[in-house]
Amino acid sequence: MALLELKGVSLLTSGVERVASVTASVDAGQLVAIVGPNGSGKSSLLGLMAGLLTPTRGSVLLDGRLVSSMGLRELATQRAWLGQSTPGADNFTVAEVLNWGRIFAAGETSDAQSALDEVVEVFEVQDLMTARLHRLSGGQRQRVHLARIWLQGARITLLDEPDSSLDETGRSMLRGAVQECVRAGRTVALVTHDRGWAMSEADLVWEVCAGRIVVG
Q: Which CATH number fits domain 4-215: 3.30.420.40, 3.30.530.20, 3.40.50.300, 3.40.50.1980?
A: 3.40.50.300
Q: Where are the alpha helices (DSSP H) in 28-137?
A: 42-50, 72-78, 94-103, 110-122
In the chain, the N- to C-terminal Cα span, in Å, equals: 18
Predicted TM-score (pTM) of this structure:
0.90
Please say whether the beta carbons of 157 and 126 come within 8 A. no
CA atoms within 13 A on the CB side of 122: 24
> pLDDT class for 208, splitting at 50, 70, 90?
very high
Neighbours of 193 (CB within 10 A): 14
> What is the rounded CA–CA span in Å between residue 164 and residue 12?
27
Quick check: 109 pLDDT over 80? no
- Give the pLDDT confidence of 33-47 residue by residue, as tens digits: 999 999 999 999 999
Least reliable range by pLDDT among 20-29, 101-110, 119-128: 101-110
Q: How many CB atoms lie within 10 A of CB 165?
A: 15
Q: Where are the domains of the chain?
A: 4-215
Q: Which long-range contacts (CB under 8 A, 24 or more apart) does 63-68 make?
A: 63/1, 63/3, 63/4, 63/155, 64/1
